[in-house]
Structures are given as C-alpha cells and as structure tokens.
C-alpha cells in the first residue's frame, strides 16, 4: 500500500506538471488557435494509453485517424507529437513548407549509440546539407544507370544461391543487398556473408538497432548519468553496449574507407560513391569533407540493407499468397523476354506489370511504416490549427497505404491498381514509402532499380509456392510481421523451384553469363 504522504506528493506533482504544461502551451501559442484534435491526455504519461496497439503505433495512429482526422496532436510522456495520416497533408507540410518541417528531433542516446553522424537523424543544417550533397551526386536519378551493371550482376549471382539452396531465402536477399551496396559505395564485392567488410557493417547496424530502442531512449533521457558510469559498474549494461557500439561506429567509418584509399594508392581508381564524391567536391582537400564522405558512405549501407532486404521478403510473401499475380508477371516476362535469356534493364519499359507489382509491394506492406520522425524549426498554423515549434512530426505512411478511397480493399495485393485498362502504368509511382520533402530517401532511385532487377530476375528464373506437408498438402501461410522502426515478414514456409530449362548450374551459367562459384 502507498502511504498517504506519498499519494499527496504524486497528486501534487501531477497537478503542477499539468499546470506547467498548460502554461507552456498557452505562452508558446500567441495565436491561441487550437492544437489539432487528438486523444485524451493524462498527466505525466500523456496519451500513451490511447495507443491500442503499442507494438505497431502506425496501426494505432490509423485508428486515431477515424476519430480525430488526418492530422492528430498528442503527448507521449514528455514528447509532443503531431501525426500526419494523409498524402495531402504530407505534401502541404513536408513539400510545401519544407523549411519548417525538415528538422529531426535530437536525443542524448544518439551519441551513445554512434548515430550522431547518421544523416537521417542529423538536424537540418550545414552538416546535413554537405552529407546530402555527397549522397545526391552519385544517387540522383540520372546517375543510376551507372550502377545497372553491378545491380544486374548481383541479381544474377543471387539466382545461383537460390538454385544451390532454395530454403534460405532471407540469406540470399540479404547477400544481394550487401553485394550491390558495398560494390556501389566502396567498389568492394563481398564473396559471402563472412566478408570482413560486411561484418564491420553488420556489427555497427546490430549495435545501433539494439541500442536505439524506445525503452533505452526513455531511460537515457530520464537518467543520462547511466552513460557516465564506468563499464564495469554493476547494472551498467547500457553503458557497455554503448562502448561497443561507439567502437563499431569508428570501424564502420574508417575500415572500408581505408580500403578504397589503399586501392587508390596502388594506382587503381575505384568507381564508387567515395571516389565520385572526392572528384565532384573539388578534389576534397579538407578534413571536414573527408569526414563527411566517410560518414555518408558508412550510412549508405545502413540505409539500404534493412529496407531493401525487407522489401524483397514482402515481395516473396506476396507471391506465395497470390499465385495468380505471380503467374501474370511470369507470363509478361516470358512474352517479352522469352526463355532463352534473362531480363535486363533495357526490358523495363516493355514490362509494365512488373513495375506495377513493385509499386504494389511498396504499398501493400511498407517496410518503414512511420519513416523517421521529423520536427518543426518554428511554430506554424495549418488549416486553422496551431503546430508548436520543436514538436515531433510523424509521417504515418501506413495510414496512407490504407486509404480506402485511393486503394479499395487495401489489404489485398493488386498490382492492377497501378495500371490503366489498356495495361499501361498510371502516374502514381508509389513513392511515399520513401518519405517526403527535403529529407526524402536519397537512395530511392537506387533502391527502385535494385528492387526491380532482383524481383524480375527472380520471377524469370524461379517460382515460389506454398510448402507441402508430408501428405503433399499445401501448408497455409498466415502473414506475420516483425515490429520496430523497419518491419518485415517473419519467416514463412515456402517452396522455391526453378522454371528455366534444364534447371542446372550449367544452364544458369549460360543464361547469366556468370560462372557458378564452388561452395
């Protein structure tokens, strides 16, 4: 039981905090216009209890939408948030008022988990601008054809892995992503998953994903002294994880960068993001630019790895659940490309169904359901509502994909949504899964090409079906998804079978023009 003095203390504190919060809202809002509507807020915890699905906040925010509308205000503990649930409002705020809505909220935990140099979390300012430029030069739309040969080669190598071992599909998709991004950023082609550079990258990514959890973030915001404890101190688990992650953060910037420099000192000029940035940024002769190049390059892998592999897993799940879609896609490939060769990028304009299938993959289960939070640099007034300065702004991509007016029966997988009656593609490129405005994904064109060639190559060479049980009956697949900042389907049973003539490594060598690696 709580004694009455403690209860009095708690009640008084709650009233004082509620009063201070009310005063702050009043003085911060000289227009005295209302905040956007939102769920009821309790002292201290705010609207936490209004999140009916706390593991999938995007679903809760979508439920709020039916009650409060497309723009919702709430307080979560001490954080004020605005949730944007519609494309129209996202366009108005992030594209139309980008000087106000392009900042990112800052947390003490970023530095502790080597994320203070991650472009996607950097405040809107000069350091972000320089990194963005380093990304933009090699990854703007016009530059993407430069990477087509690498992407094609990685996709075709992936087909050999499926032939050798059709069960470990996650590993093959991951390897495809590692191989293409490491070749593009560092001119380094990993042989297998044990590749030393891929391991440096993955160690860093694991440290960040393990460290930047909402739980750890709340603890560190409330008790930052935990990071000052020596690592050996009992209970200093967060500190120990932080020390490991900071070391992994140093390695991820230095080790692959030095590899490129070594190649350069041997007289070989690698064709990659690093050398591209060095050439285009006036010979890069200052240490600040060198640091920015290292930082940007190290984050390219983090940006690409999880999102791309997850998208490929969503694609595979969609194919298992929708055999008629798979059959239509393969019929298109067979009609345009034939069976004697594999598709390449030149075939893309003649394969509209494949593009529609990719767009529907991005829509059906967006792998970054609420993207990364933004924050406001000044207060704003939108549609008669007051939007405070420094408020966290969440883009609910999931809600946009569930807009029944635009996407009837949104849970169904229907590539036809993106096709006119005559079979040509609509203008809707389904880009909102890549974010909005100035912080929109800088790798989106690279990702689009990479996803397209991998799924098209896969469907040309393989089919995926439901797995069979010992009686030869199909095992039904109930889709389940992980939770977190990015999500992907949990492992599901399936059967991947070759569909090219003579289904052998030699036949695949002929089709791909590559030599099978001996395992």
Rule CB under 6 A: which residues touch ligand HEM? 119-120, 132, 135, 139, 299-300, 303-304, 307-308, 311, 367-368, 371-372, 433-435, 439-443, 446-447, 451
Helix (H) or strand (E) holding 498: strand 494-498
Alpha-carbon separation of residue 5 from 9, 44, 74 (angstroms): 6, 19, 31
Nearer to ligand HEM, 50 or 177 (CB): 177
Return the residue matching tokens 């020390």: 243
Nearer to ligand HEM, 301 or 353 (CB): 301
Radius of gyration of the chain (CA): 25
Neighbours of 514 (CB within 10 A): 14
Nearest distance in Å: CB 36, ligand HEM: 19
Q: Contact at 8 Å (CB) between 115 and 220?
A: no
Torsion angle of the four alpha carbons 48, 52, 57, 59, in this order, in degrees rounded to the nearest 10 = -150
Nearest distance in Å: CB 350, ligand HEM: 23
Nearer to ligand HEM, 149 or 513 (CB): 149
Nearer to ligand HEM, 161 or 308 (CB): 308
Nearer to ligand HEM, 440 or 505 (CB): 440
Nearest distance in Å: CB 456, ligand HEM: 15
Nearest distance in Å: CB 31, ligand HEM: 27
Backbone φ and ψ of 468, nearest 5°: -110, 145
Nearer to ligand HEM, 406 or 431 (CB): 431
Neighbours of 475 (CB within 10 A): 12
Structure tokens that stand for 381 in this block = 């007034």
Nearest distance in Å: CB 78, ligand HEM: 22
Where helices occur in 187-236 by DSSP H, the ranges are 196-211, 214-222
CA pair distance 213, 208, nearest whole angstrom = 9
Nearer to ligand HEM, 100 or 299 (CB): 299
Nearest distance in Å: CB 444, ligand HEM: 6
Chain-centre distance for alpha carbon 94? 18
Alpha-carbon separation of residue 118 from 45, 132, 226, 304 (angstroms): 30, 11, 23, 13
Nearest to 392, CA basis, from 63, 61, 88 = 61
CA pair distance 443, 466, nearest whole angstrom = 33
**SS3 of the chain: helix, strand, coil, percent, to 5:** 55, 10, 35
- 375 forms beta bridges with 103, 392
The three-class DSSP label of residue 494 is strand
Judge residue 417's burial from the number of C-beta atoms within 10 Å of its C-beta, 0-12 exposed, 13-18 middle, 19 or more buried: buried
Nearer to ligand HEM, 277 or 508 (CB): 277
Nearest distance in Å: CB 429, ligand HEM: 13
In the chain the first and final C-alpha atoms are separated, in Å, by 65
- 81 forms beta bridges with 74, 392
Nearest distance in Å: CB 237, ligand HEM: 29
Nearest to 373, CA basis, from 481, 212, 241 = 212
Nearer to ligand HEM, 257 or 500 (CB): 257
The alpha carbon dihedral of 470, 472, 473, 478 has a sign of positive
Nearest distance in Å: CB 236, ligand HEM: 32
Nearer to ligand HEM, 188 or 439 (CB): 439
Nearest distance in Å: CB 126, ligand HEM: 13
Give the residue closest to ligand HEM by C-beta: 443
Asked whether residue 441 is marked as a ligand-binding residue, the answer is: yes
Nearer to ligand HEM, 200 or 393 (CB): 393
Nearest distance in Å: CB 370, ligand HEM: 9
Residue 229 exposure: Cα atoms within 13 Å on the Cβ side: 17
The three-class DSSP label of residue 217 is helix
Structure tokens that stand for 200 in this block = 């440096």
CA pair distance 276, 273, nearest whole angstrom = 5
The bridge status of strand 374-375 relative to strand 385-387 is unpaired
Residues tagged in the binding site annotation for heme: 441
Residues tagged in the binding site annotation: 441
């Amino acid at each position: 039981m709580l004694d009455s003095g403690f209860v009095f203390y708690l009640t008084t504190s709650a009233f004082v905090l509620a009063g201070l919060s009310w005063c702050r809202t009043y003085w911060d809002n000289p227009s005295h216009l209302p905040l956007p509507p939102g769920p009821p807020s309790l002292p201290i915890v705010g609207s936490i209890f209004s999140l009916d699905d706390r593991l999938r906040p995007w679903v809760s925010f979508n439920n709020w939408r039916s009650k409060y509308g497309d723009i919702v205000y709430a307080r979560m503990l001490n954080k004020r948030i605005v949730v944007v649930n519609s494309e129209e409002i996202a366009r108005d705020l992030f594209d139309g008022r980008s000087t106000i809505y392009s900042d990112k909220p800052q947390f003490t935990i970023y530095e502790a988990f080597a994320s203070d140099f991650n472009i996607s979390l950097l405040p809107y300012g000069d350091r972000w601008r320089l990194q963005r430029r380093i990304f933009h030069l090699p990854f703007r739309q016009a530059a993407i054809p430069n990477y087509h040969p690498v992407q094609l080669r990685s996709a075709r190598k992936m087909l050999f892995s499926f032939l050798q071992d059709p069960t470990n599909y996650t590993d093959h998709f991951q390897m495809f992503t590692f191989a293409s991004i490491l070749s593009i950023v560092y001119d380094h082609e990993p042989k297998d998953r044990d590749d030393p550079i891929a391991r440096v990258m993955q160690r860093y990514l694991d440290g960040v994903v393990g460290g930047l959890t909402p739980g750890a973030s709340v603890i560190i915001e409330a008790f930052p002294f935990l990071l000052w404890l020596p690592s050996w101190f009992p209970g200093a688990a967060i500190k120990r994880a932080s020390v490991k992650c900071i070391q992994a953060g140093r390695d991820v910037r230095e080790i692959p960068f030095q590899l490129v420099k070594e190649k350069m000192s041997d007289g070989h000029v690698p064709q990659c993001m690093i050398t591209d940035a060095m050439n285009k940024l006036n010979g890069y002769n200052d240490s600040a630019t060198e640091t920015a190049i290292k930082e940007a390059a190290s984050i390219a892998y983090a940006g690409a790895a999880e999102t791309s592999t997850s998208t490929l897993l969503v694609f595979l799940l969609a194919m298992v659940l929708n055999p008629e879609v798979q059959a239509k896609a393969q019929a298109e490939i067979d009609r345009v490309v034939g069976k004697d060769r594999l598709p390449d990028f030149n075939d893309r304009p003649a394969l509209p169904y494949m593009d529609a299938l990719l767009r529907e993959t991005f829509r059906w289960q967006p792998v970054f359901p609420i993207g990364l939070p933004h924050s406001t640099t000044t207060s704003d007034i939108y549609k008669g509502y007051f939007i405070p300065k420094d408020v966290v702004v969440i883009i609910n991509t999931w809600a946009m994909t569930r807009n029944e007016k635009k996407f009837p029966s949104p849970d169904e997988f229907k590539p036809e949504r993106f096709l006119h009656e005559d079979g040509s593609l609509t203008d809707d490129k389904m880009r909102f899964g890549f974010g909005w405005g100035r912080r929109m994904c800088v790798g989106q064109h690279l990702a689009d090409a990479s996803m397209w060639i991998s799924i098209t190559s896969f469907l040309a060479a393989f089919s995926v079906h439901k797995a069979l049980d010992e009686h030869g009956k199909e095992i039904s697949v109930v889709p389940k998804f992980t939770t977190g900042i990015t999500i992907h389907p949990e492992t599901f049973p399936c059967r991947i079978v070759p569909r090219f003539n003579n289904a052998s490594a030699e036949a695949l060598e002929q089709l791909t023009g590559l030599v099978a690696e001996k395992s």
